């Protein structure tokens, strides 16, 4: 009861802030029941006069409500199926920037996490250079045999875990209530939305996991000539602290500096797109927060990505799905693109492949009739997910994260080269994957891998089969032996059945006696 009251109080505060900042003006009252329309009208009485657009009102409200709500807004930007495409697009601009917490608190957190004094860990630790809802970053220096070496130190905000926990518990309470009262809320699977947000945030709050993501991507991309990630200093990394190589690169959002240094901007744009697609298709592991502030260009012209708190994964089935869809649109093979949806089990089989192919053609043909610089793969996926909703395709969170990241990546590439031809740039990466995995050699390799997996599991299957045969032999030889607890439970159930049988017989006898007496 106390927890429910606490959740309601927090949600009431959020409702007040939304009403005060004019966020409720976004809501369309017509579909709402009469009581809800009345409540909405009353709530708008406290709306603060402002000339801001709905986007700015929502961003302002989420920022005022604190870190958890900022993360919620950023997360919902990846879920257009929940908030709608237009609002999701607006939420993508929500900035996760907060004032830094005091230097003394950062130093205390580092010392507690690493179990040493600050002077034993770093030669120097400068003030915060960037601060977000979960952590902030400092520039520090190490004493090495080669001299002073700069490193970046990411430090978790003190007390942030408790703050997120209580807010996420309130979100869970609200989602559970909504699903119990609304079929639409159940269709959108709001409980699953909150659970996914919780997992994402909890991963971000363990900086060892971000270090592991950096390490994994470094292994995946070690042979990629145009892309790299910072090296992790594992000796100075813990749950609350991450130390890694300091990047002295040029930010990708500083076009003037890139031009002044003579970098080939169209080539950088191609590298951004192809690196992202290569990570998603080849590795099934991609940076899911590739906005310009997280991308740099080093002195050798290589892309360097930072901030690996949010990562996306695609399994083999999802990678094949993505590759065949993109290749199908590139080659205008809409029938094959439709078949992929059915083969993956994303569209229920009671729908028609031909009807679905027709819907996909309605998306693809207008795109092919446009100029190269007007073609948007991110918009293509957005339209595709809208159409699949008409064919009962369930939400695929990993594909939505991919689509959201592609929106950002495409925007970064377009800022470098407004005339970028997305199909031409993407085609080599997609074709290479298709030929490698879906061509004759790939199919033979997959079949060989499946056979090897089966053969490797044969000893285990034989062992389990032998155990099963022995158990069956014991049952047929000695009879079925029940545990004493099972026998007692069966006896108690039988006794209850006998008691109720006796009661029923007595009731019938009494009824018959009453009929005889009254009829006489």
Residues identified as active-site? 289
Let me know: does 54 contact 25? Beta carbons within 8 Å.
Answer: yes
Among candidates 242, 249, 244, 257, which has minimal Cα distance to 295? 249
CB within 8 Å of 11: residues ≥ 6 apart: 170, 173, 174
Report residue 136 as tokens. 């902030």
Phi, psi of 123, rounded to the nearest 5 degrees: -70, -30
Rg of the chain over all Cα atoms, to the nearest angstrom? 30
Nearest residue to 312 via CA among 387, 225, 388, 407 = 407
Concatenate the DSSP letters of all residues of 425-477 into one string: HHHHHHHHHHHHHHSHHHHHHHHHHHHHHHHHHHHHHHHHHHHHHHHHHHHHH
Query: From its phi and psi, is residue 493 left (phi > 0), alpha (psi between -120 and 50) or beta?
Result: alpha
Side-chain-side CA neighbours of 22 within 13 Å: the count stands at 12
Taking the mean position of all CA atoms in its chain, how far away is CA 222?
26
Q: 487: how many CB neighbours lie within 10 A of its CB?
A: 11
Q: Do the Cβ atoms of 403 and 381 come closer than 8 Å?
A: yes
The phi-psi region of residue 347 (left if phi > 0; otherwise alpha if psi is between -120 and 50; otherwise beta) is beta
b (16+ CB within 10 A) / e for 85-100: eebbbbbbebebebeb
Q: How many residues does the chain have?
A: 520
For residues 242 and 154, the answer to whether their CB atoms sit within 8 Å is yes
Closest to 211 (Cα-Cα) out of 191, 230, 183, 184: 230
Instruction: Give the pairing type, strands 303-305 and 295-297.
Output: antiparallel
Residue 108 tokens, joined: 């205390």
Q: At what angle do helices 2-20 and 160-181 cross, to 10 degrees?
A: 90
Within 13 Å and on the Cβ side, how many CA atoms surround 3? 10
Compute the CA torsion angle 211, 213, 216, 219 (nearest 10 deg): -70
Task: Determine how many CB atoms are found less than 10 A away from the CB of residue 246.
Answer: 18
User: For the packed helices 377-390 and 316-331, what is the interaxial angle rounded to 10 degrees?
Assistant: 110
Cβ–Cβ under 8 Å, residues 356 and 384: no
Distance CA 358, CA 334 (A): 8
Kindly list the distances between the CA atom of residue 72 and the CA atoms of 195, 377, 414, in Å, as whole numbers in the listed order.
Answer: 12, 26, 27
């Amino acid at each position: 009861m106390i927890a429910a009251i606490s959740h309601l109080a927090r949600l009431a505060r959020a409702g007040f802030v939304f009403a005060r900042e004019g966020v409720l003006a976004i809501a369309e009252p017509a579909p709402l029941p009469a009581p809800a329309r009345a409540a909405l009208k009353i709530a708008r009485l406290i709306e603060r006069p402002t000339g801001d657009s709905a986007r700015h009102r929502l961003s302002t409200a989420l920022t005022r409500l604190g870190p958890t709500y900022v993360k919620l807004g950023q997360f919902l930007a990846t879920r257009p199926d929940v908030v709608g495409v237009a609002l999701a697009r607006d939420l993508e601009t929500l900035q996760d920037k907060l004032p830094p917490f005091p230097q003394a608190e950062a130093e205390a957190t580092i010392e507690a996490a690493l179990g040493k004094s600050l002077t034993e860990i770093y030669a120097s630790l400068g003030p915060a250079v960037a601060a977000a809802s979960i952590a902030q970053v400092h520039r520090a220096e190490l004493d090495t045999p080669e001299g002073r070496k700069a490193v970046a130190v990411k430090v978790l905000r003190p007390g942030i875990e408790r703050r997120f926990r209580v807010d996420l518990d309130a979100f869970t309470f609200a989602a559970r209530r909504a699903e119990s009262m609304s079929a639409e809320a159940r269709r959108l699977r709001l409980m699953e939305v909150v659970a996914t947000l919780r997992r994402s945030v909890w991963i971000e709050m363990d900086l060892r996991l971000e270090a592991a993501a950096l390490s994994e991507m470094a292994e995946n991309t070690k042979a990629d000539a145009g892309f790299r990630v910072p090296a992790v200093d594992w000796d100075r990394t813990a749950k609350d602290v991450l130390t890694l190589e300091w990047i002295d690169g040029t930010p990708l959002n500083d076009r003037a500096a890139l031009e002044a240094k003579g970098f080939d901007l169209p080539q950088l744009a191609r590298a951004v797109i192809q690196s992202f697609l290569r990570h998603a298709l080849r590795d099934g592991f991609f940076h899911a927060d590739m906005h310009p502030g997280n991308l740099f260009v080093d002195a050798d012209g290589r892309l360097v990505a930072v901030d690996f708190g949010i990562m996306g994964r695609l399994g083999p089935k999802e990678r094949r799905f993505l590759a065949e869809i993109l290749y199908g649109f590139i080659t205008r093979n809409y029938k094959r693109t439709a078949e992929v949806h059915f083969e993956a089990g994303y569209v229920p089989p009671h729908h028609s492949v031909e009807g679905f192919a027709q819907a996909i053609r309605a998306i693809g043909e207008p795109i092919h009739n446009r100029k190269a610089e007007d073609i948007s793969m991110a918009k293509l996926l957005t339209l595709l997910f809208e159409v699949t909703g008409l064919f009962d395709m369930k939400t695929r969170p990993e594909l939505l994260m991919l689509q959201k990241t592609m929106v950002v990546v495409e925007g970064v590439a377009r800022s470098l080269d407004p005339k970028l031809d997305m199909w031409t740039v993407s085609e080599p990466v997609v074709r290479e994957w298709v030929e490698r995995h879906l061509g004759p050699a790939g199919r033979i390799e997959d079949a060989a891998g499946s056979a090897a997996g089966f053969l490797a599991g044969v000893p285990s299957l034989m062992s389990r089969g032998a155990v099963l045969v022995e158990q069956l032999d014991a049952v047929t030889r000695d009879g079925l032996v029940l545990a004493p607890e099972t026998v007692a439970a069966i006896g108690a159930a039988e006794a209850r059945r006998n008691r109720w049988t006796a009661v029923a017989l007595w009731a019938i006898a009494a009824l018959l006696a009453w009929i005889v007496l009254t009829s006489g």
